Amino acid sequence: MSNIYNKHKLTNDKILFELIINLYLMESAYRNLFQIVINDKKKLIKLINIIKKTDYNYEIFETDNIFRLIVYNQNKFDINKLDKTFSAKFAKQLGKFYVCASDNYTSYNYQIRISVQNKNIGFPIYIQMCKKSMIIKKMDNILKIFNDVKKILLNLDNNIHVHIQIESY
């Protein structure tokens, strides 16, 4: 994974950077699955070609020319158990960060995210809507995830920046 990262670490392609960072987190045993939502079929094919160079599998779900690329570790996640409604259950399948996962998330007025950035671009690796009371209640857990991700990614490249941000809406 380090070789793939080093080849693309200064990319301006947000989707490619997102894939590589998530693959590294899987290689580091921090994630078992992740998703990337993309609307460009050529980019999707490029991502699939990279995934094929790893030990991971993928599934593609298409709705209205929007592709949901699910990448997973087949040894740690049974793809047959994937929540294909992509609701709160799916969010919880994505990992421990999604403590506020709810099918009623649109009523929440805070957004919390952990973002990763290289010299050129960045993206939110984790993002969710929350109630203020839930953020306060789960802050220790959220900060642990932030610190774990930051430590793992700094082992890959000490020029990566990892940020946590909370916004009200």
pLDDT digits (tens, 9 = 90+) for 94-139: 998 898 888 887 889 999 999 999 989 999 999 999 999 999 999 9
Number of domains the chain contains = 1
User: How is the chain split among helix, strand and coil, in percent rounded to 5?
Assistant: 40, 25, 30
Q: Which domain holds residue 126?
A: 2-168
pTM: predicted TM-score of the whole model, two decimal places = 0.91
**Which residues make Cβ contacts (< 8 Å) with residue 23, sequence separation at least 6?**
1, 4, 50, 51, 54, 56, 71
Alpha helices in the chain (DSSP H): 2-8, 14-27, 41-51, 88-94, 132-156
